[in-house]
Amino acid sequence: MAHRKNKGGKLFMSGEIALLCLAAACSAVPVSDLLDRASQRSDTLHSLSSTLSHELDTHFPPIGRVIMPRPSMCHTSSLQTPIDKEQALQVSESDLLSLARSLLQAWIDPLVVLSTSANNLPHPAHNSISNKIQELQEHSKSLGDGLDILSGKMGPAAQSISFLPYRGGNDIGHDRISKLTNFQFLLSCFRRDSHKIDSFLKVLRCRAAKLC
């Protein structure tokens, strides 16, 4: 059934129909407005990941900085991306959006690992960290949905995604040092990628406003 009644007799759309209506409404929004919303969401995403990294740093063991893997070990490192704004300006709008969507897609499974691991993280603020990881997942999902709609407006090239599978597994370690180090490393990779996503979307917004 498409509709159901509550006790007061009012009609409500089913979840599926409501989502279709929401998607239809968003599809009517101009690209510039969608980019504004996406850029605001990506900014929140990166800001939250930076806050989380700082919170972890307060009780991060010094040895962890020595044994932490290099950024090149992040599972998304194989994706060729612009290294600064000047390079990003040389990339087409469709390709920039495709890169942002590819990075976001690549973090669906690792964010689940972070969320599961946060509950038992040997850190005094693990409850706060766990809550913020859940916020990251929610913001990532919302941003991903928005970029899906944007890609539909920008053509086939924007809809293509490079798949970057996460092969790190669900276990971040068995002792305190390895758990904190691996958790921090995975989060640092996400922070780096969230900055890229935010930068790409800001360039797209700038182009849409014809300011760059």
Q: What is the pLDDT of residues 109-145, one digit of tens each?
A: 999 999 999 989 999 999 999 999 999 999 999 999 9
Mean of pLDDT values over 69-84: 94
Instruction: Tell me which of 1.10.357.10, 1.20.1250.10, 1.10.1270.20, 2.40.160.20 is the CATH number of domain 35-68+93-208.
Output: 1.20.1250.10
pLDDT in tens, 140-190: 999 999 999 999 988 888 899 999 999 988 889 989 999 999 999 999 999
Instruction: Enter the pTM of the model.
Output: 0.84
Q: Where are the domains of the chain?
A: 35-68+93-208
Rg (CA), the chain: 19
pLDDT band at 30 (very low <50, low <70, confident <90, very high): confident
Alpha-carbon gap, residue 108 to 120, rounded angstroms: 20
Q: Which helix (H) or strand (E) holds 98?
A: helix 93-106
- CB burial class (10 A; 0-12, 13-18, 19+) of residue 196? buried
Mean of pLDDT values over 93-119: 96
Give the pLDDT of residue 28: 65
- Is the model's pLDDT at 23 over the cut of 90? no
Give the pLDDT of residue 20: 35
pLDDT in tens, 31-46: 888 899 999 999 999 9
- Is the model's pLDDT at 18 over the cut of 60? no
Nearest to 196 by CA among 81, 70, 91: 81
